[in-house]
Amino acid sequence: AQTVTQSQPEMSVQEAETVTLSCTYDTSESDYYLFWYKQPPSRQMILVIRQEAYKQQNATENRFSVNFQKAAKSFSLKISDSQLGDAAMYFCAYRRGIQGAQKLVFGQGTRLTINP
Amino acid sequence: NAGVTQTPKFQVLKTGQSMTLQCAQDMNHEYMSWYRQDPGMGLRLIHYSVGAGITDQGEVPNGYNVSRSTTEDFPLRLLSAAPSQTSVYFCASRHRTLSGNTIYFGEGSWLTVV
């Protein structure tokens, strides 16, 4: 069974600085997708960034980028120039790549605090 | 706005009552799912559907039923509510093709069973 582990229950960073959130996963599949979701206090799940396992290039979305290490099964999220609006719970998630795969496996989450 | 719409947003039930959480999407997505999120945890899959008339169980299906009579709607029924079903429920949808790997979530439904 696939598992996703976020070993940092809480992180904090000064506004405008850079922070990295860690995620490791376990799978025997070769084709899969990895995601980072942001969950603000409103509890809505917002997609931050996604990475296809077959792509070697790390995904980037504006201030958000990932460090995808497939052999190490590591998928960390880097937030540059942190803003107060980045404060939220962040969840790492995994999904198999085959069509019809529905199950997203989530990590336990990391609560990110931004200090002004 | 296009997207996934869940109703109600808040609900309090008494133990043993039944109710239905509604989910609708207007993006013509084939795949729809229901998740629950308990305090301090990630989401866990309850049931999912890959198209109208097709449903299947996820990780934690006990105590819940689903149906998919149309592409747009995917209601989740609690048959006899229990305090253990107090949670936040999320509906999600995505397009069938591999390029549709972005999953869209609703805003969540807060359910309390007393």
Do residues A38 and A89 lie in contact, with contact meaning Cβ atoms separated by under 8 Å?
yes
Pick A99 or B94 by higher pLDDT: B94
Q: How confident is the model at residue A97 (pLDDT cuts 50, 70, 90)?
A: confident
Q: Residue A24: its pLDDT value, please?
A: 97
Share the mean pLDDT of chain B.
91
Report whether pLDDT(B72) > 60.
yes
Q: In this structure, what token pair is assigned to residue B54?
A: 């097709």
> Around Cβ A76, how many Cβ atoms within 10 Å?
17
Output the pLDDT for position B56.
93
C-alpha torsion B71→B73→B79→B81, nearest 10 = 140
* Binding-site residues on chain B for chain A (CB distance < 8 A): 31, 33, 35, 37, 40-45, 48, 50, 56, 58-59, 88, 90, 92, 96-98, 101-103, 105-108, 110
The proportion of chain A whose per-residue pLDDT surpasses 90, expressed as a percent, equals 72
| Range A50-54 average pLDDT | 91
Q: What pLDDT does A100 receive?
A: 55
Is residue B63 classed as helix, strand or coil in its secondary structure? coil
**HSE-up of residue B34 (Cα within 13 Å, Cβ side):** 30
pLDDT (tens digit per residue) in B28-68: 999 999 999 998 788 899 999 989 999 999 989 999 999 99
pLDDT in tens, A22-39: 999 999 988 899 999 998
Residue from B33, B37, B50, B112 to probe the interface with A (highest A Cβ count within 10 Å): B37
Q: What is the Cα–Cα distance from A29 to B24, expressed in whole angstroms? A: 32
pLDDT band with cut points at 50, 70 and 90 for residue A14 = very high
Gap from B38 CA to chain A (nearest CA, Å): 10
Convert A16-76 into a string of H (helix), E (strand) and C (coil). Answer: CCCEEECCEEECCCCCEEEEEEEECCCCCCEEEEEEECCCCCCCEECCEEEEEECCCCEEE
| Length reported for chain A | 116
Q: How many Cβ atoms sit within 10 Å of the Cβ of residue A63?
A: 13
* Chain A residues touching B33 at Cβ < 8 A: 102, 104
